[in-house]
Amino acid sequence: MAFWAYMLRCADGKYYTGHTDDLERRFAEHCHGGFCDFTSSRRPVELVWQEWFQTRDDAFAAEFRIKSWSRAKKEALIAGDWDRVSHFARPPKERVSTSLDMSGGGVLGDGSCP
């Protein structure tokens, strides 16, 4: 069985991170509303990142870890920019000053609610 950690971008620009054993079903629930208080009031949502894991514990650990990340670090993950993820993993006073692009990326498909 596959397990997924995923991130949604809500209509208000906030990010929601979760995990599931059925990504398609769970995304449809977020799109429909009523299954999650956080996303129900922030629709429509867009699936912006997902990763497959072999165990539920691994997917939950990824969700838990990513939830605490800064917005900039989440956007670097979405963009698949590991240099930026690494940059934002360091405390601000330890970062080399650069002009990193702050725009997000996407996922396979358009990631929008049907």
* pLDDT tens-place string over residues 13-54: 999 999 999 999 999 999 999 999 999 999 999 999 999 999
Q: Distance (Å, rounded) from C-alpha 82 to C-alpha 52?
A: 18
The better pLDDT of the pair 16, 112 is held by 16
- Per-residue pLDDT reduced to its tens digit, 88-106: 999 988 887 665 545 444 4
* Contact indicator for 6, 66 with CB cutoff of 8 Å: no
Q: Distance (Å, rounded) from C-alpha 78 to C-alpha 104?
A: 6
Question: Is 109 a residue whose pLDDT tops 70?
Answer: no
Specify the fold of 3-69.
GIY-YIG endonuclease (3.40.1440)
- Other Cβ atoms closer than 10 A to 57: 11
Q: Which structure tokens are listed for 33?
A: 């509303």
